[in-house]
Structure 1
């Protein structure tokens, strides 16, 4: 195969001093380096947003930027040759290695050794098979490549060595755990059985890959002293964990708990990664091994969040992209296709891609997993990351792999990662998930059935308020209550932030947890205390970590996988000391509206005005019934609550007369939701009358704690007057229907002027500070009528989840947080 081509260039020495035999840094190198960084960042950002709809990882974008300016594409033009002159490449690559070391340091922070040690057989088997089998197949593929090579015989013999086989096979055995996490999160599969198995297997495979890299690379760098390098590196790791780590953890925890960190001190912490990298480089191992070990050493928690927040831009945003881009610049795939033919390239790439899939399918068959899930996990395990690129750069610099092998391997790495989100999204594409569960409503829940509730919270304050709603739901032995408390956590763009929130933090009690972990621990205690006090209720605590713009898809997926009947959401306003509702985070409002659009079950929004301060359930509840499916669902929930001995329920039915009874012609003609046809006004009234009559016959006539009355409403002005009159009785909780399907022209017009359309017309009135009520509020939307339609918003669709409840319960050892 063709040898590497060396580039020569002239250098003008502007300083003739014998010490500084080079050009002035300020004249050439610094301005040129700044221009390269600016150009790379601009292209990265633009291409990232172009490919973002296809869920492409960031490192793929950064490699493509380098490919764009390679000599085969844009590098042939004078502008780009001036922007990236040959003599500046070494300078850029040298500085980019600073970003590379920091990038690997972050990968070390992501590593959770406890998860790896405690992994179950399924994930372990997939990881082992996904490491060994691809190495065997990769060796055969390299042999095939050598046999089909058309070129000088001397090149064939030069690159047909043990080192070449070792690098080739190692590269194809790698799985990029951070990249898998990003893809699974973007595709909203993180909280499915499939996603959890894939993440655990990817973490274990990544750990195996780094271990093999640390112990085998010395044999490629310097074979004569490789054994000494391996032994000394192993001794260095032992010293780090046995001697240095305990002292380092104690110091970090103490300073973090006392909030003593400043930028100057954090700089010294980061420099520890470069010190460790220097040590492993001296020992004969690659510098990134030291950075990885140092990252694993540091305690996860609040300190990790602080460190990433202060320093991530330094390496991840500015310097690491230069390393990825340099890999793309070296790609010469067009020349390879011309010299070796397209058939050889396609064949090698195809065989390289299927090795992980075959190994994963074989492993999953032993555990009875569906073949489609095995293929999907295998495709996810094909995802690459930073480690293959490091190996390829070593192989290029040491001339272990030829230009053809380097280019084909790099193309395989890129294609493997590019197609993963596309194929997984095609296999598990958004579709109508909920047709099979049309009766997932409280109204249609059987008397002896278990009530499953997904209680979504952002902080412990929300959890405290939810507890009283759950307690009032009357969990009994005949109809128990299953609660899934879901903490909603916003993430930044870095994978580390995601993993920091997901890693099991129940390690050393002296470690300072992050804010999200502190909240999760408090939420867990609140719900566990409730579970201990109620023998008919069980609680499972989870966390959803995503961007606020897409976190509603995670909520949908968890609700679908857990087969919940009701999703409880906190209102975006909280009550102040003066009893006034104040906005806590406007993003919470968007989350609630997004959830209500395509929820796979009924939804309730809880407006807490101090209900959580009550230690025992002793509530006076007012349910206002106007009509429609949401009101019937709200009445069904209130009916269930009324069976609790501490509840006094009052149901007031509003009869719409006069102008309020005029039917909205638009609603009557629209086709909405999963039922395909909209029930007309008269049919809705028949359903309302039938359900209310059943309630009065079975509940009101038999229980002294339940009261029923009726009010006539002739115009919209009558509504606030009646509400004010009712509020004088001082109820603790209002239960209302959101209002979908009422078909009243007046009510439909008034909803357009509400500040919080997710609460509906009546709910918005009661929740407004001008109304003056001190009562909490629960607004219910019934599942099955297509969800809410909000103005000036786009329709979102929930992502499909793997409908495998058994897998979800058996694979909870992963980064998917499940607090026992």
Structure 2
């Protein structure tokens, strides 16, 4: 056994108790000179099985923790660190037999090599996720927030650490060198950009103003962290004047990579991507470049991860980055990196805290104090830019999130003997506390229900005539954008009542990382290179179409952005952006598209699931547009029919139709169906689910009838009498089974119309119409809308189905009905 006096491997535990894992102070260095290849005995027979057990333990336990913490949106890094902390000297590490089963001393070097290889790949992927162009184009606001959130934590952290050193110096005299203070201050200042991006995505605030500010500031702070890390590493070696030379050479190499290597690689890679000539040999060449850059920075005196990060940063984003993420991310993040984070957790040494202070209160107070400076700095910066205190607090919490950079810095400081066990444990607990604290507090600060409570008046019906109409338009492709523009044309935007359009290009996130690349781009169309998921050309076509639309109508303003998320959760991003834009109406495209034969063919069944999800609890009214070739008002006049039966959805649909009737090229015909019959007499029982509330159901039905009459009376008085292009008629219809409804619609449709406008819940209080919902192919359109959209109806009219916003909407039953009639995979 060879004692290691000055070398502390990643899994060593500082000052372990006498009965806890004494073997970690040394390991067997006996060499078998007869084995000229391995020079270490039977590597395959001894090291590989042990390494496999170590990997299996780290991956399995971190996966279990991650499943437990997933509902709290905690980063995977936290679970991986905790999996190692379980075997620390403070916990299960006190039982030598358990620890030695998994981490025998002779396997330390093998697992250390494996862990460092993993962190090199992980940092390389982090570099791929960042975008240099976005850093260069950062706004003054983002730069200011980043600078304040760097300087104040460094100064405040230094002050708190100095205070702690003075307070505890009389009892145990912790040994923290001057260089150790620099490392600690840098750790407090840095932010984990990839962790913040995934956290924002999980919390569904990535596309809000707060999310964009946090993401840009985190990216700038992360870039600063790498610069500081590149400087600190050479100076941690303590080699006289060489550290300065090492830092200068490293920066010169980085400049060479950006200005010489990057243009060459971008040209070669983009050409291969465009010609689709990528093969396994090309990817192998990319990996060789990773090892070369890492070796050069390590040779220059910096850390090898600096080269890996720079190499990932200079490679082109877009399709190539997607390809690399698809190949490497699952293996690196789920298989290799847990070993590195677990090694970080092994070093947790709670006994060091008790050795310095007899009470746990002071270490806890220190951890809390270390989290304050960045929150304080963020609130000061946001106050300067006129943001609310809540946004400042949320931004400060998000920027307190730590990532791989903080872990690497702390590990290097420990390996270089710059921190004693007490200071190391305090900083480790601070990293965990800051990262764990973010998600629960952000959920408390930004509760979706509280945000939506502020939007109860966000309907078209309650919008003043001289108020701006705000519409969020969701599209998947340029063809859908053209149809949506024709609907927006009909809304009659004027200088008195302008139209503000937020165009949301919905892109499916099928691979890890790409959503982060798109999300950080304020203007994706300005980014050169290949498209993300092939959506760049679509995005540019959509932007161009709306730009031409705004040029034709001076009262129209628009902004286009991409939302990249899984189809199962993209409706939550739509909610967030819609609330952020204070929209009155969300327009969604139908999942079927008009074919060359003149019939509606399904484009993607998943679009139907998105529409149904959006209609569950939206923050404003929702409209689904079924396009059967609706033409532009610049080319033809539009004939619109609105069928009114009753209910809040019909009142909202009438308000939209009335607004459209103000355009000089539209004609509106409103038909009110007065339903009667034996089924109508039982309408109170049709929708009543509370056995104790028969009287309330009747009263609600009476109130809805009064609101319907009031809306129709107002429409006839101010609309029909003042506009020759508006007509109104009533039709009394006796319904018994619901089979009469298609006959009625066929009779109404005889003159032919360009656009139908219907309420999604038309006639929901009538049992006959309620029964029709059970046979609907498209329940999101309602009973009447499903009939009009069906091929058997035979009309060539387009259709707009409207659902009015209501806080009292109960989505669970609707969701349950939908799941019975549709493929569960879609929902």
Global fold match (TM > 0.5): yes
The question of 1:685 aligning with 2:685 is answered: no
Q: CA deviation at 1:453?
A: 0.7
User: Do structure 1's residue 191 and structure 2's residue 191 form an aligned pair?
Assistant: no
Which of 473-482 and 30-39 deviates more? 30-39
Name the SS of the counterpart of 1:644 in structure 2: coil
Identify if the C-alpha distance between structure 1 residues 46 and 366 changes in structure 2 by more than 3 Å, giving closer, same or farther.
Answer: same
C-alpha distance in structure 2 between counterparts of 1:792 and 1:784, whole Å: 14
Q: State the partner residue of 2:800.
A: 778
Query: Which range is displaced more, 462-471 or 730-739?
Result: 730-739
Matching of residue 109 in structure 1 with residue 125 in structure 2: no
Provide Cα deviations, 1:700-720, integer angstroms capped at 9, x if missing partner.
455454343333142211001
Aligned to 1:799: none
Q: Distance in 1 between matches of 2:671 and 2:436?
A: 58
Stretch of structure 1 that moved more, 320-329 or 357-366: 357-366
The residue aligned with 2:739 is: 717
The structural deviation recorded for 1:131 is 1.2
State yes or no: 1:699 paired with 2:719. yes
Cα distance, 1:365 vs. partner?
Answer: 3.3
Give the conservation status (yes or no) of the 8 Å contact 2:525–2:540.
Answer: no
CA contact (8 A) 1:174 1:388 kept: yes
Q: Name the CA distance, whole Å, in 2 between partners of 1:512 and 1:637.
A: 37
Counterparts in 2 of 1:615 and 1:332: CA distance versus 1, 3 Å: farther
3-state SS, counterpart of residue 507 of structure 2: strand
Q: Is the 8 A contact 1:99 1:314 kept in 2?
A: no
Q: Aligned ranges for residues 45-124 of structure 1 at < 5 Å? A: 45-75=63-93, 76=95, 78-79=97-98, 81-124=100-143
Task: Return the match for 2:249 from 232, 257, 265.
Answer: 232
**Does the residue aligned with 2:38 lie in a helix, a strand or coil?**
coil
Displacement of 1:320: 1.5
CA displacement at 1:203 relative to structure 2: 1.7
From 330, 334, 337, give the equivalent of 1:317: 334
Cα offsets for 1:535-566 (capped at 9, x unmatched): 12111112223333332222222222222111
Say if 1:627 and 1:97 are closer, same or farther in 2 by CA, change over 3 A.
same
1:151 CA drift (Å): 9.2
Separation of aligned partners in 2, 1:212 and 1:347: 27
Q: How does 1:508-523 map to 2 (within 5 A)?
A: 509=528, 514-523=533-542
1:140 aligns with 2:149: no
Q: Does 1:421 align with 2:421?
A: no
Partner of residue 764, structure 1: 786
The alpha-carbon distance between structure 1 residues 130 and 679, as it changes in their structure 2 partners (threshold 3 A), is: farther
- State how far apart, in whole Å, the 1-side matches of 2:399 and 2:677 are: 65
Number of residue pairs matched by the alignment: 788
* CA displacement, residues 318-377 of structure 1 (integer Å, 9 cap, x when unaligned): 212211111112222245335544233213212211121222233333334333332222
Asked whether the equivalents of residues 179 and 384 of structure 1 are also in contact (C-alpha less than 8 Å), the reply is yes
Equivalent in the alignment of 1:813: none
Cα shift at 1:509? 4.6
User: Which of 489, 497, 509 is the aligned partner of 1:491?
Assistant: 509
Shift of 1:779: 0.5
> After alignment, is 784-793 or 408-417 more displaced?
784-793
Question: Are the aligned partners of 1:766 and 1:773 in contact in 2 as well (CA < 8 Å)?
Answer: yes
Instruction: Establish whether residue 537 from structure 1 lines up as the match of residue 572 from structure 2.
Output: no
Deviations 1:149-169 (A, max 9, x none): 47997x74xx34222112111
Q: Per-residue displacement from partner, 1:580-603 (whole Å, max 9, x unpaired)?
A: 434333333332223222222211
- Kindly state the Cα deviation for residue 388 of structure 1 after the two structures are TM-superposed: 0.9
Question: What does 1:539-554 correspond to in 2, within 5 Å?
Answer: 539-554=558-573
Q: CA deviation at 1:630?
A: 0.7
Question: Paired residue for 1:351?
Answer: 369
Offset at residue 737 of structure 1 (A): 0.2
TM-score, scaled relative to structure 1: 0.89
Larger CA deviation: 220-229 vs 49-58: 220-229
- Give 1:263-278 correspondences, 5 Å limit: 263-278=280-295
**Candidates 413, 416, 424, aligned match of 1:398:** 416
Q: What SS does structure 2 have at the residue aligned with 1:680?
A: helix
Aligned to 1:576: 595
**Equivalent-residue separation in structure 2 for 1:785 and 1:143 (angstroms):** 53
Contact 2:375 2:397 in 1 (8 A): yes
SS state at 1:649 partner: strand
Distance 1:515 1:484 in 2: 22
State the shift of 1:10 in Å. Answer: 4.5
Partner of 1:586: 605
Displacement of 1:492 after TM fit?
4.9
Q: 2:279 is matched with which residue?
A: 262
Return 5+ residue gaps in structure 2 as ranges. Answer: 1-12, 17-21, 818-827
When residues 96 and 693 of structure 1 are mapped into structure 2, their CA distance, relative to the original with a 3 A threshold, is same
Counterpart check, 1:524 vs 2:546: no
CA separation of 1:508/1:538 partners in 2, compared to 1, >3 Å: closer, same or farther?
closer
> 1:266-290, CA deviations, whole angstroms, 9 ceiling, x for partnerless residues?
2322332222111111111111111
Give yes or no for contact 1:331–1:410 (8 Å, CA) kept in 2. Answer: yes
With 533-542 and 701-710 compared, the bigger mean Cα shift is at: 701-710
Counterpart secondary structure, 2:586: strand
- Aligned match for 2:496, one of 473, 478, 488: 478
Q: Look up the match of 2:825.
A: none
Give the alignment's Cα RMSD to 1 decimal. Answer: 2.9
Q: Deviations over 1:638-660 (max 9, x none)?
A: 12222223323332222211034
CA displacement at 1:233 relative to structure 2: 1.0
Output the CA distance in 1 between the equivalents of 2:196 and 2:391.
16
Deviations 1:467-493 (A, max 9, x none): 111111121233221111112233357
Check conservation: 1:263, 1:310, Cα contact below 8 A: no
Closer, same or farther in 2 for the Cα pair 1:560/1:166, shift >3 Å?
A: same
After TM superposition, give the deviation of residue 244 of structure 1 in Å.
1.5
C-alpha separation in 2, matches of 1:788 and 1:467: 31
Q: Residues 392 and 406 of structure 1 are in contact (CA less than 8 Å); yes or no, is this contact kept in structure 2?
A: yes
> Which residue of 169, 182, 185 maps to 2:198?
182
For residues 578 and 592 of structure 2, what CA distance do their matches in structure 1 show? 24
State the Cα distance separating 1:316 from its structure 2 match. Answer: 2.3
Residue in 2 aligned with 1:798?
A: none
Instruction: Give the drift of 1:389.
Output: 0.6
Q: Is the 8 A contact 2:644 2:762 kept in 1?
A: no
Change in Cα spacing, 1:677 to 1:43, as seen in structure 2 (3 Å) is farther
Contact 2:129–2:516, Cα closer than 8 Å, also in 1: no
Determine the C-alpha separation between the residues in 2 that align with 1:359 and 1:508: 32
The within-5 A match list for 1:501-650 is: 501-503=519-521, 504-507=523-526, 509=528, 514-611=533-630, 616=635, 618-650=637-669
The yes-or-no answer on 1:337 pairing with 2:354 is yes
TM-score scaled by structure 2? 0.89
Counterpart secondary structure, 1:223:
coil
Paired with 1:787 and 1:267, the residues of 2 have a C-alpha distance of 55
- CA deviation map 1:769-808 (0-9, x unaligned): 343443322110112363363537489xxxxxxxxxxxxx
Aligned counterpart, 2:4: none
